Amino acid sequence: MSQKTENLASALTEKFDYAEVRYSEWTDEVTMEVPPERLREASIALRDEEPFRFRQLIDLCGVDYLAYGDAEWMAEQATDSGFSRGVKRYDPDSDPDRESPKRFAVVIHLLSLEKNFRVRLRTYAPDPEFPVIDSVTDIWAAANWFEREAFDLYGIHFEGHPDLRRILTDYGFVGHPFRKDFPLSGHVEVRYDPERGRVVYQPVSIEPRVLVPKVIRGQSRYPHTAQDSTAEESQDNA
């Protein structure tokens, strides 16, 4: 970690005793995690107080940590059923992460031009069924459209936002497409109906596909280990 980043992490830890400050030596970045009820307090302090002066909001986004870290791509051996992440039926009753208070998060990236610092500010919505986070649009005006995007794609509501509406999906769109339990093919599709002279909605007509992953196999141009050679001889004899 650079000395500058180390100084920032120390200053954040000293100032915000209720926050969890982490840093990555690999990326030389600092992340500060705060409780949702203290997000605005921390945001105002980061913007106004020394030695921070984070007056520019670079980005604000939502995150869905449902099934975070789960791996389905097993590429060391073949499969007779295929890779079905894209079309598998989601069963909310069997997913332990669905009701986790750390399912939905809001991540804010801040820049201090005065101090030449960057920090990642993160907080979690306590209720995954109806995620609500305080708006920071009056602290950083640039958060306006970012919060609308997070609301549209993740269904995260921002308390105090002056005009919280969808920004990317259609007015009649149902659901939030960036949630992990939203089907990749969606629920409906649109097409132009020449008889009616307008665009109409209809059930999605995409056929579900099961993809077969690539299998990593040994190469003949590389030397085999003694264990591999023994396994091959056993298969030949069989």
Residues in the chain, overall count: 238
User: Mean pLDDT, to the nearest integer, of 101-109?
Assistant: 94
Q: Kindly state the tokens that stand for 217.
A: 């196999």
Q: What is the pLDDT of residue 171?
A: 76
DSSP symbol at 83: B
Q: How confident is the model at residue 208 (pLDDT cuts 50, 70, 90)?
A: low
* Mean model confidence pLDDT for the chain: 83
Q: What is the pLDDT of residue 113?
A: 94
Q: What is the pLDDT of residue 226?
A: 47
User: Mean pLDDT, to the nearest integer, of 76-96?
Assistant: 55
Q: Kindly state the tokens that stand for 132.
A: 């609500």
Does residue 225 form part of some domain?
no
168 vs 79, more confident: 168
Q: How far apart are CA 168 and CA 174, in angstroms?
A: 13
Does residue 227 form part of some domain?
no
Q: Which of 133, 141, 143 is nearest to 108 (CA)?
A: 143
Q: What is the pLDDT of residue 18?
A: 94
Q: What is the pLDDT of residue 199?
A: 87
Q: Is residue 108 a contact partner of residue 118, using CB atoms and an 8 Å limit?
A: no
Q: Kindly state the tokens that stand for 65.
A: 């940590």
Q: How far apart are CA 20 and CA 204, in angstroms?
A: 44
Supply the range of the domain harboring residue 120: 3-217
Q: What is the pLDDT of residue 185?
A: 79
Q: How confident is the model at residue 140 (pLDDT cuts 50, 70, 90)?
A: very high
Is the pLDDT score of 90 beyond 80? Answer: no
Q: What is the pLDDT of residue 74?
A: 52
Q: What is the CATH number of the domain that holds 207?
A: 3.30.460.80
pTM for the predicted model, two decimal places: 0.76
User: For the chain, how many structural domains are there in total?
Assistant: 1
Q: What percentage of the chain has pLDDT greater than the value 70?
A: 74
DSSP symbol at 213: P
Q: What is the pLDDT of residue 221?
A: 64
Does residue 64 form part of some domain?
yes
Q: Per residue in 150-179, pLDDT tens?
A: 999 999 999 999 999 999 988 778 889 999
Does residue 228 form part of some domain?
no
Cis peptide leading into residue 51 (ω within 30°): yes
Does residue 21 form part of some domain?
yes
Q: What is the pLDDT of residue 134?
A: 97
Does residue 230 form part of some domain?
no
CA distances from 132 to 87, 110, 127, 156 (A): 29, 21, 7, 6
Q: What is the pLDDT of residue 157?
A: 97
Does residue 86 form part of some domain?
yes
Does residue 224 form part of some domain?
no
